[in-house]
Amino acid sequence: MTKRRIGVLVSGRGSNLQAIMDKIAAENLPIEVAVVVSDKADAFALERAAQAGIPGKAVVRKNYSSKEEFENTIDGILREHNVELVVLAGFMRILTGNFIAKWRHKVINIHPALLPSFKGLDAQGQALEYGVKVAGCTVHFVDEGMDTGPIILQKVVPVMDDDTHDSLANRILVQEHLALPEAVKLWCEDKLEVKGRKVYIKK
């Protein structure tokens, strides 16, 4: 069986990358992580990739004269590895419309909030400050806006009265580790259909 090829973009420790690799292995899914690209040379995610025998590349923004050159380099690496789906797993940079246009409905992101609430940075802190009773995470296709693309999956967690930023973030992270690999699996099985703002999951 031909394996579907994904490229994973990361900035940090890569726990969501690990969750994807673990699900592929546990369920023997016909998916290959073809390449891992980090915008930070010292990201532990690159270490995880190396341990799994996956090519890892650091593409550091300050080494490029423009955002366009930076993104074109990432795009080239993804195409060189015949990537079909780009997975943002804790990638802390906003991709421009120019990049997204080349990968329409082929980039997915995990966000630690129930979109459309609490977009952008520190979604967990925003949720705590607002006083919501439930929080969670969202996997969505990426469009030109910030955290505005069509929603694939959402998972919910309760917010406790004594929650700190870290305790809530950790509870959400457990669900991220379920949601993102699940979305990748649905994509692999050709079960995701985008119509306008909505993503339909085929039975």
Looking at 81, 111, 140, 177, which residue is catalytic?
111
The DSSP letter of residue 62 is G
Hey, how many other C-beta atoms are within 10 angstroms of the C-beta on 19?
A: 22
* CA nearest neighbour of 34 among 174, 183, 184, 193: 184
Residue showing tokens 């789906």: 85
Contact predicate 115/138, CB 8 Å = yes
Active site residue 177: no
Spatial neighbors of 98 by CB under 8 A, at least 6 apart, are 68, 71
Strand order, beta sheet including 151-158: 56-58, 31-38, 4-10, 85-88, 107-111, 134-141, 151-158, 198-201, 192-195
Active-site residues: which are they? 111
